[in-house]
Structure 1
Amino acid sequence: MSENKTNTSFWTKVGRTFVPLVLIVAGGVAWSYFKATAPVMQRSKPERKVAVVEVRTASLGDARTVVAAMGTVVAAREVTLKAQVSGVVQSAAKAYIPGGRIAKGAELLSLDPADYQVAVKKAQSALATAQAALAIEQGSQNIAREELRLLVEISGESVAQTDLAMRKPQLQQAQADVTSAEADLRKAMLDLNRTVVKAPFNAMIVERNVNVGTYVGSQESLATLVGTDEFWVEAMVSLGQLPLVDLDYLGGCPVTIRSQAGEGQWTGHVVQVAGKLNDTSRMATVIISVKNPLGTAGHPTSTRLMIDDYVYADITGRELTGVIELPRAALQDDDTVWINQDNTLDIRNVTLAWKSDDAVYLTSGVAASEQVIMSSLTTPVQGMPLKTTEDAVAGSPTDTEGK
C-alpha cells in the first residue's frame, strides 16, 4: 500500500510539471501558425478629392441701377380754408364731405350775404354823395375863378390867385372824399364776394369743420383741402444708396410706385432730396412726384393713391459703366467671390457698385472672362482642387466632393 501511494504521487508531480509545458508549446505553435498565415495590410496613398463646381464666365458691361425704397404718400399741396368774413353758413356743395372732390374755382360754401349786401348799398350811396360834393366843389371853383377875373377888370389892379381864393383845398378835400368812398365800396364788395368760398385749386376735402347753419367768425377754419393734380411720396433712402439717385436726370429719375397694403401701380419722378436726415431712421428723404394720382373728377382711376399710404418705390438711378454683373448667389459672406483659378479655388474680396435682389455689380475683384463659381462648397479652402461640371463629364471617374 505504501508503494501504491508512492507511484500516485510520482505521476501527479509529472502531470503538474509537463501539462503546463505542453500547453505553452501548443500555444506557441498556434501563434506561429496564425502569424504566418495572417493577411498582410497594404498601405496606399489616399486619393485627393476634387470638388465639382458649376461656373459662369464673368463679362464686362453697363447697367442701370434701381434704388428700392419705402415711403409715405403726402399731399403736394395742402391748405386749410378760413373764413375771411363772419356769418352763418347758408349752403354747401355736395362734394363738401371727406373724400369729396371739387374743381378749381367751384363754390364750396356760402355765407349769408344780407349784411354785406346792405354794406354795399351804403357804400354806393356814400360814393354818390361824395361824387355830388365833388361836382359842386368843381362848380364853386369855376365861380371863384370867374369872380377873381371880374375883380381884376373892375379894379384894374392885379390880384394874386392864391390857393384859398381858388378853393383848391376844398377841391382836394372833395376829391379825397370820393377816393375814400370808392375804397369803402370796393371793401364792401370784397366782403360780399368773400361770403362765397371757392376751391383755390383742384382739390379733395380731407376734413370739414362746419355745417350749414353754423355761425363762423373771421379766420375760423372751414375745411382742409389737398390738391389732386399731384401727390408726393416721401421715400427713405440710405446714405449709401443716395449717390445712385441721379438728380440731373432729365425730367427727374423715373419711379415705379406700389402700395404695400392695396393694389395698384403708379409712375412718378424724383423732384428733390430733402436737405435733412430723418430723425428716427437717419436716412435721407427723397421727394417723388406722382401726377394725377386720382384721375380726373369726372373719370377717377380704378385704383387711387391714398394719402398716408405706405408704398414701395423703385427709383431708376444712375447708369454704371464697365462693371461685372453676377447673380446674387455668387456673392459670398464678407463680400467675397469664389473664382476657379486653374482648377483651384481662389477666394477674392470684391468691391460692390450696387446689388439688387437678383444680381450684384462689381467694380473690382473680378476680371472679365474669369470663371466665377456658382456652386456651394461645404468647406471652402483657399487653393483646394476643383473641377468644372463640363470637365467632370468629359474626364475619367474620380472621387469628388458633392456640389
Structure 2
Amino acid sequence: MATKKQIILPVVVIAIGVAGFFGMAALKKPPEEKAEIDTTPLVSVQTVEIKPMDFSVNSYGVVAAKYETELVSQVNGEIVFLSEKFVRGGFVKKGDVLAKIDPSDYDAALIDAQASMASARATLVQEKAFGKVAEAEWKRIKDGVPTELSLRKPQLAQEIAKLNSSEAGLKRAKRNVERTVIKAPYDALIEARNIGLGSYVSMGSKVGKVLSTDDAEIRLPIADKELQFLHDKGKYAEVLLKGQFAGKPQVWKAKIVRSEGVIDSRSRMTYLVAEVSDPYGLNSDTNELRYGTYVTASIEGLHAGQVTEVARHLVINNQVAVLDDDNKLRYKDVNIVRQIGSKVIITDGLDAGMNLITSALDYPIEGMQLALPKEKSLDNDDSDPQPTQIAMGEKE
C-alpha cells in the first residue's frame, strides 16, 4: 500500500510543470499578423490619340543625269585644239567648242566641191542655151516633127542631175568641215575625256562623255502593295529627298515625272522616276546634288483621314487590349489599313482618350481586374513598403 508521501510528491511535480508551462506561454510574444498583399496585376497604358495623317511611301535611289552622251568623232584627223573646260568635272554650255580636228583636208575637199558645183552650173546654163537654139531651128522647119533628142532634152536632164550631185557633194564637204569642230550638245558636266592634244582619231572613235546638268533623275523602286497609297500610282507626286553632302544632311525637292511601266524581273519592284531641276545649282540657289549620290525618298501619298498609330506588337488577331473605366481588361477589334515599320495605322475600333495597354500579361482574361502603378503606390502609402516583383514581358 502506497504511502502518503508517495501520492503527494508526483502531484506536486505535475502541478509545478503545468504552472511552468503556462508561465512560459504567458511570457511568449504572440506572432504578428501579416499584411494582406494586393496581387492585382500592374499594367502600363498609353492614351489613344486620333489625328489626321497623309500617307507617304519611302524609297531610295542613286542620282543620275537625265541625258548621258558619248561624244564620238565623225571624221578622221589629228586633234589640234582642246578646250580648258574639256576636263573631267568641267562644266560647259551648249555649243561650247570642246576640241578641233585638223580641217586641212576637209577645207580642200570643200574647195573641190565648190568648183565642181560652179562647173556644173556653167554647163547647165550652156546646155539650156543649146536647147533654145535647137528649138528655134525646128520652128523654121514646117514639115518636120522634132524629137526630144533633137531638142537636147536628154542632155539638159543630164546636166541638171550633175548639178544636183555637185550640190550634194558641196553639202557633204561643208558638213565634214563642221564635224572637225566638236561642240557640247547641251549644258553639261564632263564625265570623261578620251583624247589628248595631238592624238589621232578616226571615224567612230570615242572622244569623251558628257552629262546634262539641266535635270537629274532618280529611279525609285516601289513595292506593288505600296502603290495603293499613292494618288494616280504616284504620277506627278511631290518627293522629298534626303542625303549627305560635305558630311552634313541635306534635303532636296523632286517630282515624279513617270513610271517605267514594268515590274523588274529580279526585284519584283515597280520603278518610279523622280526629277530634280538644276541639281548642281548653276542657275539657282538650290543645294548641290551630285550625280552618284545615294538618297532616301519620301513620296507624297493619299490622305488617310483620322487615324491612330499603334505599335505593331500590341495588335494580335486584329485586336488590341484596353483598360476600361473600371480598370478591367477589354479587347477591341480594330481595322488596320497599313503597316509602317514597327507601327500599324488603325482607322476604326479605337476612340480618342482610351487607355491602350502596352505591357504584357502572363494570363490575360477579358474582364480581369488590373491596376496602374500610380494607384498601387497610393494604396501602399499608409503601410510599410514591401518589395513586389511583377514579371512582365512584351509579346512580339
Change beyond 3 A, Cα 1:319–1:115: same
Deviations along 1:128-183, whole A, 9 cap, x unmatched? 1100110110010011011111222xxxx2x2131111110000001111111011
| In structure 1, distance between residues paired with 2:297 and 2:84 | 35
Match status 1:56 vs 2:40: no
Paired with 1:293 and 1:103, the residues of 2 have a C-alpha distance of 15
Q: 1:76 to 1:43 in 2, by over 3 A?
A: same
Aligned residue number for residue 332 of structure 1:
314
Aligned counterparts of 2:140 and 2:255: Cα–Cα separation in 1: 83
Residue of 353, 363, 367 corresponding to 2:347: 363
State the alpha-carbon separation in 2 of the partners of residues 213 and 300 from structure 1: 38
Name 1:206's counterpart in structure 2: 191
Instruction: Specify the alignment match of 1:275 in structure 2.
Output: 261
For the residues of structure 2 that align with 1:45 and 1:374, how far apart are their CA atoms?
Answer: 27
Structure-to-structure mapping, 1:1-400, within 5 angstroms: 39=30, 47-49=38-40, 51=42, 53-59=44-50, 61-152=51-142, 157=143, 159-247=144-232, 252-260=236-244, 262-263=247-248, 264-278=250-264, 281-296=267-282, 303-321=287-305, 323-326=306-309, 328-329=310-311, 332=314, 337-342=320-325, 343-348=327-332, 350-354=334-338, 360-364=344-348, 366-369=349-352, 371-373=354-356, 375-377=358-360, 379=362, 381-383=364-366, 384-387=368-371, 392=375, 397=379
Cα distance in 2 between the residues matched to 1:125 and 1:32? 150
Q: How far apart, CA to CA, are the structure 2 residues paired with 1:116 and 1:69?
A: 53
CA contact (8 A) 2:252 2:287 kept: no
CA distance in 2, matches of 1:303, 1:144: 79
Range with greater deviation from structure 2 (49-58 or 108-117): 49-58
Of 369-378 and 307-316, more deviation after overlay is shown by 369-378
What RMSD in Å do the two structures reach over aligned CA positions?
A: 3.9
Please say if residues 253 and 315 of structure 1, whose CA atoms lie closer than 8 Å, have aligned partners that are also in contact: yes
Q: 1:270 to 1:372 in 2, by over 3 A?
A: farther
Which secondary structure does the structure 2 equivalent of 1:110 belong to?
Answer: strand
User: Match of 1:84, SS?
Assistant: coil
Please list every run of 5 or more consecutive structure 2 residues that lacks an aligned counterpart in the other structure: 1-5, 382-387
Contact 1:330–1:374, Cα closer than 8 Å, also in 2? no
Unpaired runs of at least 5, structure 1: 1-13
The CA distance in 2 between the partners of 1:347 and 1:284, in whole Å, is 39
* 1:285, distance to aligned residue in structure 2 (A): 2.5
| Equivalent-residue separation in structure 2 for 1:295 and 1:45 (angstroms) | 75
Structure 1 distance, partners of 2:271, 2:96, is: 35
Residue 5 of structure 1 corresponds to: none
| Whole-Å separation in 1 of the counterparts to 2:111 and 2:359 | 91
Deviations 1:286-311 (A, max 9, x none): 21111110022xx6768422222211
Aligned residue identity for 1:51: L
Q: Matches of 1:367 and 1:373 in 2, distance apart?
A: 9
Secondary structure, counterpart of 1:231 in structure 2: strand
CA 1:351–1:87 in 2, change beyond 3 Å: closer, same or farther?
farther
Quote the Cα distance in structure 1 between the aligned partners of 2:225 and 2:328: 35
Which amino acid in 2 is paired with 1:307?
Y
Distance 2:64 2:216 in 1: 6
Q: Does the 8 Å CA contact 2:120/2:159 hold for their aligned counterparts?
A: yes
Q: Secondary structure at the match of 2:85?
A: coil
* Residues 97 and 183, structure 2, Cα contact 8 Å, conserved in 1: yes
Q: 1:290 to 1:31 in 2, by over 3 A?
A: farther
Find the residue that maps to 2:52 and give its secondary structure.
strand
TM-score for both structures, normalised by structure 1? 0.78
Instruction: State the secondary structure of the residue aligned to 2:289.
Output: coil
Cα offsets for 1:80-108 (capped at 9, x unmatched): 11111111112122221111111112222
CA contact (8 A) 2:53 2:307 kept: no
Q: How many positions carry a matched residue from both structures? A: 370
TM-superposed CA distance for 1:358, in Å, is 9.5
